A and B are shown apart, each in its own frame.
Chain A
Amino acid sequence: EIVLTQSPATLSLSPGERATLSCRASQSINSDLVWYQQKLGQAPRLLVYGASNTATGIPARFSGSGSGTDFTLTISNLEPEDFAVYYCQQRGTWPLTFGGGTKVEIK
Chain B
Amino acid sequence: EVQLLESGGGLVQPGGSLRLSCGASGFTFSSVGMTWVRQAPGKGLEWVSTISATGENTYYADSVKGRFTISRDNSKNTLFLRMNSLRAEETAVYYCAKDMLHFANWGQGTLVTVSS
Query: Which A positions have Cβ atoms within 8 angstroms of B?
Result: 1, 32, 34, 36, 38, 43-44, 46, 49, 55-56, 87, 89, 91, 94-101
The interface residues of chain A lying within 8 Å CB-to-CB of B104 are 46, 55-56
Summarize A's interface: helix, strand, loop or mixed. loop
With an 8 Å Cβ cutoff, the count of chain B residues facing the other chain is 19
Residue in A95, A99, A101 whose beta carbon sits within 8 Å of that of B61 in the complex:
A95
With A43-B107, A43-B108, A43-B109 known as contacts, the answer to whether A98 contacts B47 (CB < 8 A) is yes
The interface residues of chain B lying within 8 Å CB-to-CB of A46 are 102-104
- The answer to whether A94 and B59 have CB atoms under 8 Å apart is yes
Say how far A84's CB is from chain B's closest CB, in angstroms. 13
B89 CB-CB contact with A under 8 Å: no
Distance of A37 Cα from B47 Cα, bound (Å): 16
Say how far B43's CB is from chain A's closest CB, in angstroms. 9
